[in-house]
Structure 1
Amino acid sequence: MKRNLLFTPILLAITLITNIACAQKKAEAGKNEGIKPEMKIQKNLTDDQLLDLVQKQTFRYFWDFGHPVSGMARERSNESFNYGSEVVTTGGTGFGVMSIIVAAERKFITRGQAAARTKKIVDFLYKADMYHGAFPHWLDGATGKTIRFSLKDDGADIVETAFLFQGLLTAREYYTEKNPVENSIRSKISQLWEAIEWNWFTQNQNMLYWHWSPNNGWAMNHQIRGYNECLITYILAAGAQRFPVNRQVYADGWAQGRHFLNGKKYYDINLPLGMDFGGPLFFTHYSFTGLDPRGLKDQYADYWEQNKNHTLINRAYCIDNPKKFKGYGANNWGLTASDSWSGYDAHSPTNDHGVITPTAALSSFPYTPEYSMQALKHFYFDMGDKLWSEYGFIDAFSEEKNWHAKSHLAIDQGPIIVMIENYRTGLLWNLFMKSLPAVNGLMRLGFTSPALKKYEPTVIKP
């Protein structure tokens, strides 16, 4: 019998879809999906064992607590501020995708499980709301519809999109096996990446704007100027192949911020960039979960010096403790944005309310390993009965107010896992810095780095 030519491609398509579904289902069923929490404080752990434990238990936030439909990271572990139970965060999911890679390499889960969960996230994003290729800050994890972040912030958030794609581009470099699941991950990440219209967010000016809404247009009018957590946004915008921004946007926009150049000393420590005392410590974390600061320089700063010194200043302030808050000291430091006894706040030396946030010191392991380990041991061995939980450390605490958060936030938990791993192995830094968008963006903006040298012949010129 002569074969039906129309039926053949349909049969092949059905077979391919079935194979992908079977591979994904098999990977998810490979082991028990849950990771058992270690709630009892364990004594006599080596430093490596303690780091393993912190990474593994903190990872439960993204694995066991990940949204069941989308796989994305929930905004927070409680339902404060009327967020509801379906809110997932795009930026936090970027950190979560990186955390899944760490978990696979550390054997907390299998590579197959990691790939299956990542594919679930990417498949969901492929169908979710986007605006000129950019995603909103929050999505409904069940439907993919936008959840308004603030009154007029109900559309694209280009900064959260940058944090998301820092993770997704890292994943594209990691999932390189030739099988249906990993092939699909790479293909869809590439399509999503190429759809982002970075130049749309300039409004035809030498400046990136944070938000755009189909209902409110540019009403937020939030210019992205330095220096803060948003460096990765300009690098990825410059690294795009289809809709890039040029170097002048970086020079006239980011580098002209009111708090960009600093050059002062605090506690006899030089701070090249940023506001007085550096600001909250997440400035040294969010853009640098993938972006490798080791040897990274441009005409304005050495970013390893910037991040290390910012961290040292933050710690020195806590030791100095000019406001005499209870508990501050050499092993109990770290001011950054988090929940507090009075609501969410961006804690820093110039905005200090007696709240220590564990992610501040723990996500700074690459910059201050000795001091971060001191803080970790204090948080776990000395204060673990109050700070340690099923998802790692609680978000924040204040001994001054005898207050301990009941919450965890994706944007605080993710950097703990990722930055500890960057300290231990450089895993996420090495993966992201192989990504052509990262290479292109850095070179177009005039950065130098040891990681860039071998890629110079492949860079796409502006």
Structure 2
Amino acid sequence: MKYFYTICLLISVSLFSCGLKKNVQIDGKLSDEQLLDTVQYHSFQYFWDGAEPISGAGRERYHEDNIYPQNDKNTVATGAAGFGLMGIISGIDRKFVGREEGVERLSKILNYLKKAERFHGAWPHWMVGETGKVRPFSKFDDGGDLVETSFVAQGLICVKQYFKNGNREERALSALADELWKGIDFDFYRNGKNVLYWHWSPQNQWKMNFPVKGFNECLIMYVMAAASPTHGIDKKVYDEGWAMSGDIKSPRSYKDISLQFFHQGDEPYGGPLFWAHYSFLGLNPNGLKDAYGDYGLEAKNQALINYQWCVDNPLGYKGYGKNSWGLTSSYSMIGYAGHAPSKEKDLGVITPTAAISSLVYTPDQSMAAMRYWYENKKDKIWGKFGFYDAFSESANWYVPRYLGIDKGPEVVMIENYRSGLLWKLFMQDEDVQSGLKKLGFESPYLKKQ
């Protein structure tokens, strides 16, 4: 019997290495590596089995209860599509899927993006999965979304780099990725000013009126804009726009954990935790500094504050603690909400992606949360694509639903924690290197002149 168990154990390991949903348990528990495999694999499947079928791209949402907003089941979210590109690369590298089928899927997505509706090179926030036409995100948001587009550009750079030395099909995929991102007219989205605007549409022009200033998820937009060899911006757009002519420097702290920057909306202890994730899926924050501050330190401390707030639990919510934490924008009992560490924004909702995607900043705290949820709450918050979007013990609120922009960072940041793969790909790109140098950044990953 002992030998039979050993053989079964070896078979189980082999099956998982082939991309099957098999995991080896020791004394009923997964090791840390096995837990990471499990969470990463199932989250990856959101962008594989759960992708919008016509485009192959990441859906806005996937609901296991099959209850959707009207006409929204097959909506492609541009940001989720961009994160999905990076997630599929990690899936190929982990052998969750074969390289050939991964290339086929990525080619399908990029050709969809090539044919999709664009506005001065920018894709809309939402697209109709079957056609690539814009699906309005709100009344006036019916055109280009430069922020979501920049998340796609970040993914395209990784695709370009991963396949640039491959076979003929892979080199063609790499060239298409390069062509697509270089078609984004960042300079147009200045609206004639030294700042980048989030939105523009033919019908409503600049009516959304959202100049992007101060720390949030949008640093990557300014980096990609500076990096563009075709439609680039000058450093003064970054300095006067993102950095608010220096006013972005606005120190604040929670207990002994300090932040350097003004967070958009003047959040006292940092905004929703996705601000520490989206820009840094490819852009390596470690040692990334400029005249205004240290971005790696800011992201890490935002995560630490978020963790400590949940441990302290000043509002007394049920279920908060060192093994269950994480406040970020997600589903909630009142709809989509921007959860953050403040008395106004903390609604008693824990969003797993907040802790999981912070693994690169808070490895011990993030692993503890993943293990606790997996071992103790799996029956309530785990489904076919891993942890559900959000839950609340205080409200006894559990829904079997996912959001693409929350699943993507889980896959990518787990990979960056384990191998640094997406960071390596993005940071080695020559255009990215030039853009960061143009903006005055220092980084141990910048090549010397």
Secondary structure in structure 2 of the residue aligned to 1:332? coil
Q: 1:418 aligns with which of 412, 415, 440?
A: 412
Distance in 2 between residues matched to 1:120 and 1:317, nearest whole Å: 43
1:227 and 1:257 in contact (8 A); partners too: no
The normalised TM-score by structure 1 is: 0.88
Secondary structure in structure 2 of the residue aligned to 1:453? coil
Q: Which residue does 2:278 correspond to in 1?
A: 286
The normalised TM-score by structure 2 is: 0.91
Structure 2, gaps ≥5 residues long = 1-17
Farther off after superposition, 120-129 or 187-196: 187-196
2:323 and 2:372 in contact (8 A); partners too: yes
Q: Which residue does 2:97 correspond to in 1?
A: 109
Q: 1:57 aligns with which of 42, 52, 57?
A: 42
Q: Deviations over 1:269-295 (max 9, x none)?
A: 111112311111000000000000111
Q: Which residue does 1:222 correspond to in 2?
A: 210
Q: Which residue does 1:125 correspond to in 2?
A: 113
Q: CA RMSD in A?
A: 2.0
Distance in 2 between residues matched to 1:114 and 1:403, nearest whole Å: 36
Q: Which residue does 2:125 correspond to in 1?
A: 137
Distance in 2 between residues matched to 1:422 and 1:449, nearest whole Å: 17
1:199 and 1:244 in contact (8 A); partners too: yes
Q: 1:347 aligns with which of 317, 339, 349?
A: 339
Superposition pairs for residues 60-459 of structure 1, below 5 Å? 60-78=45-63, 80-256=68-244, 260-273=248-261, 274=263, 275-350=267-342, 351-454=345-448, 456=449
2:20 and 2:96 in contact (8 A); partners too: no
1:41 and 1:385 in contact (8 A); partners too: no
Distance in 1 between residues matched to 2:244 and 2:135, nearest whole Å: 32
Distance in 1 between residues matched to 2:169 and 2:71, nearest whole Å: 33
> Number of residues paired by the alignment?
423
Q: Which segments of structure 1 move beyond 6 Å, counting only runs of 4 or more?
A: 38-42
Question: How big is the shift at 1:226?
Answer: 1.4
Q: Which residue does 2:12 correspond to in 1?
A: none
Question: How big is the shift at 1:67?
Answer: 1.4
1:260/1:154 CA distance change after superposition, 3 Å: same
| AA of the residue aligned to 1:68 | P
1:91 and 1:164 in contact (8 A); partners too: yes
Farther off after superposition, 259-268 or 162-171: 259-268
Q: Deviations over 1:36-86 (max 9, x none)?
A: 657999932110011001100111100001111111101000353325222
Secondary structure in structure 2 of the residue aligned to 1:265? strand
Distance in 1 between residues matched to 2:71 and 2:23, nearest whole Å: 28
1:289 and 1:428 in contact (8 A); partners too: yes
Distance in 1 between residues matched to 2:276 and 2:332, nearest whole Å: 21
Secondary structure in structure 1 of the residue aligned to 2:260? strand
1:258/1:401 CA distance change after superposition, 3 Å: farther
Distance in 1 between residues matched to 2:253 and 2:329, nearest whole Å: 23
Q: 2:33 aligns with which of 41, 48, 51?
A: 48
Q: Which residue does 2:7 correspond to in 1?
A: none
Distance in 2 between residues matched to 1:375 and 1:152, nearest whole Å: 39
Question: How big is the shift at 1:193?
Answer: 1.8
Q: Which residue does 1:21 correspond to in 2?
A: none
Secondary structure in structure 1 of the residue aligned to 2:56? coil
Q: Which residue does 1:23 correspond to in 2?
A: none
Secondary structure in structure 1 of the residue aligned to 2:243? helix
1:321 and 1:328 in contact (8 A); partners too: yes
Q: Deviations over 1:119-159 (max 9, x none)?
A: 00011111110011111111111111111111111110000
1:108/1:35 CA distance change after superposition, 3 Å: closer
1:72/1:182 CA distance change after superposition, 3 Å: same
Question: How big is the shift at 1:260?
Answer: 3.1
Secondary structure in structure 2 of the residue aligned to 1:221? coil
